[in-house]
Structures are given as structure tokens and as C-alpha cells.
Amino acid sequence: MFIGRIRTAGIVSLLIVPCAAQAQALSAVPPPACIAPKVFERISAPAEDIAHLEQQADDYGRCMKAYIDARQAAVEGAEAQAKAEADAGNAAAHQVNDLYAAVKAYAAKHAKD
């Protein structure tokens, strides 16, 4: 990680540029593995065909709900990770700013000597 030059005079600023090794590639979102049932247009259909189609539709609905739940869990995990990353970066910035404030105060105190 490169920390930009920070001067003790004036406002302390921090520039953090991540190294290529630190950057994380986004993973591809998998498509649903669920197979939708085929619905055929017929004048009439036997009751067992309708019951089978309804069962397939229910299976498909459960599969898609599981897929949606998995996507939601991934979003929640990513949000938690993003917050942790931001908090860590902010804490590091505060540490650097505190150090440079202490250096500035020390330099000002001993410049009069």
C-alpha cells in the first residue's frame, strides 16, 4: 500500500492507493440451476398432467427461492465485509493523523528551544 506524502503543516491528508496484489477481483454471480417446467397449450389436459405440472412448478419455486436467499446472503456478507474494510481504513487514517499531529506538536514545542 502506498501512503501519499503527508505534511505536518496545514491540514493532514491521507491518500491510500491499493497495490495490485491487494485488489480483490469480483467473483461471477452464478446463474440459477433451477429448471422451469414447460407449459404447453392444449385444448384439454389429463388431471395427472396438471398435477405433475403443478408439482414441477412448486419444485421450481422452491429452487428459485433458495437461489434468491443465497443471493441475499451474499449481499449481506459483502456489506459486512465492506463495512469492516472501511472501518479498518478509517482507523488506519486516524492513527496516521494522530501520529502527525503529535509530531507537529513536538516540533512546535522544541522549535522554541
pLDDT at 1: 38
Report the distance separating Cα 41 and Cα 112, nearest Å.
Answer: 93
In a domain, 58, yes or no: yes
95: its cell numbers = 492513527
Mean pLDDT of all residues in 55-84: 96
In a domain, 9, yes or no: yes
- What are 2-59's pLDDT values in tens digits? 444 444 444 444 444 454 445 567 789 999 999 999 887 766 778 888 899 999 999 9
The H or E element spanning position 17 is strand 16-17
Q: Domain range for residue 12? A: 1-18+52-113
Q: How far is CA 77 from CA 11, 28, 82, in A?
A: 36, 15, 9
Q: What is the pTM of this model?
A: 0.58
Quote the number of domains for the chain: 1
In a domain, 43, yes or no: no
Mean pLDDT of all residues in 49-76: 95
34: its cell numbers = 433451477
